[in-house]
């Protein structure tokens, strides 16, 4: 029984990569991380805190311009019988899933590496934050959130017919903007893979005069200086750029996403729970850090939005076709 309960993996002083490198000389009391955490997407979403393990929402997906279904308004005359309509609601039930991290470390490592406890807590938070970013974009919906790229409400803009592989053109982003609901565009951000930055920084469009002659280039990308949105990576068509490793590689669908994340529902039960135990592997003098977050998420819409005037559908989440 004791053997079966033994820790399968743990940080120790004996192996440098497992934590031995963190045991400092007297003049070194902090641990340097190779890569700092990226900005979290969760706080940009519609976060709903719940006390149970699931919640059901009534939702209305009928646009104001729909000709039938849901509450409608009609023109009529004096004395006419007023046309009747009723809400068209459906239920959306979201149940939380569990995101966890378990980190065993020896007592010796904790005693000799003064910064170890703080490092583990901070690093676990960074890793969990990235897993959330990745799920919001790429989640399958099976035991984890449903990500934007797998959502049925996502709209994908086709590439240009002559477009070279691994490129982003000005016409791409203009077409993506045209597929975002007008009221959502002011809240939208561009989520991009970092390899897209050289392409994004050169985004422009040829501008012509009324007679068809060239009038120069229209710049679609703006540098960060003086921007009201204060994005460190600048903006495209006035909306800030957010760089995340959760976006797929350049040339793959999802390498650039126009997203109104306020239309992504995140259901969270409580805060990130942090526990510490000396008892789990007491006979080995190993202490355990445990981190648990219960949440789930998905876009509010179940399908793209049909237009009143125009054949193209709209969505709060717009991607560019693979190229």
Along the 323 residues of the chain, how does pLDDT read in single tens digits?
A: 455 566 777 676 666 566 655 555 444 445 555 556 778 899 999 999 999 899 898 888 888 888 788 888 888 888 888 888 888 888 888 999 999 999 999 998 888 777 788 888 888 889 999 999 999 999 999 999 999 999 999 999 999 998 999 999 999 999 999 999 999 999 999 999 999 999 999 898 877 666 666 655 678 988 876 555 567 899 999 999 999 999 999 999 999 999 999 999 999 998 888 899 999 899 999 999 999 999 999 999 999 999 989 889 999 999 999 99
Q: What is the pLDDT of residues 52-79, one digit of tens each?
A: 899 898 888 888 888 788 888 888 888 8
Report the candidate in 10, 43, 45, 16 with the shortest Cα–Cα distance to residue 263: 45
User: Rounded mean pLDDT of the chain?
Assistant: 86
Tally of helices (H runs) and strands (E runs) in the chain: 5, 15
Q: What distances in angstroms separate CA 19 from CA 24, 31, 115, 120, one per listed residue?
A: 11, 10, 11, 11
Q: What is the pLDDT of residues 127-170, one digit of tens each?
A: 999 999 999 999 999 999 999 999 999 999 999 998 999 999 99
pTM: 0.83
Beta pairing partners, 299: 264
Q: What distances in angstroms separate CA 285 from CA 20, 104, 106, 118, 132, one per listed residue?
A: 16, 10, 6, 19, 32
């Amino acid at each position: 029984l004791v053997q079966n309960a033994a820790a399968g993996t743990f940080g120790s002083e004996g192996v440098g990569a497992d934590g031995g490198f963190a045991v400092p000389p007297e003049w070194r009391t902090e641990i340097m991380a190779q890569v700092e955490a990226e900005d979290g997407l969760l706080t940009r979403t519609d976060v709903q805190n719940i006390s149970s393990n699931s919640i059901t929402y009534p939702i209305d997906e009928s646009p104001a311009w729909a000709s039938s279904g849901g509450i409608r308004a009609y023109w009529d005359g004096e004395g006419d019988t007023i046309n009747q309509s009723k809400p068209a609601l459906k239920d959306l039930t979201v149940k939380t899933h569990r995101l966890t991290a378990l980190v065993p470390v020896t007592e010796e490592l904790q005693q000799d590496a003064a910064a170890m406890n703080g490092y583990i807590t901070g690093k676990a938070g960074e890793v969990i934050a990235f897993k959330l970013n990745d799920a919001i974009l790429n989640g399958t919906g099976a035991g984890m959130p449903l990500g934007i790229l797998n959502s049925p409400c996502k709209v994908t803009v086709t590439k240009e017919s002559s477009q070279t592989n691994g490129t982003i053109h000005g016409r791409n982003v203009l077409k993506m903007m045209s597929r975002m609901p007008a009221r959502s565009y002011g809240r939208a951000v561009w989520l991009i893979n970092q390899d897209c930055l050289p392409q994004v920084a050169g985004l422009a469009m040829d501008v012509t005069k009324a007679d068809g002659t060239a009038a120069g280039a229209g710049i679609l990308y703006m540098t960060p200086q003086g921007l009201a949105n204060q994005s460190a990576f600048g903006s495209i068509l006035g909306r800030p750029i957010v760089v995340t490793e959760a976006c797929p590689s350049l040339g793959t669908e999802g390498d650039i996403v126009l997203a109104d994340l306020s239309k992504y529902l995140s259901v969270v039960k409580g805060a990130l729970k942090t526990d510490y135990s000396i008892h789990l592997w007491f006979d080995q003098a190993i202490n355990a850090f445990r981190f648990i977050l219960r949440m789930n998420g998905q876009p509010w819409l179940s399908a793209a939005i049909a237009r009143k005037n125009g054949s193209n559908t709209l969505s709060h989440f717009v991607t560019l076709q693979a190229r």
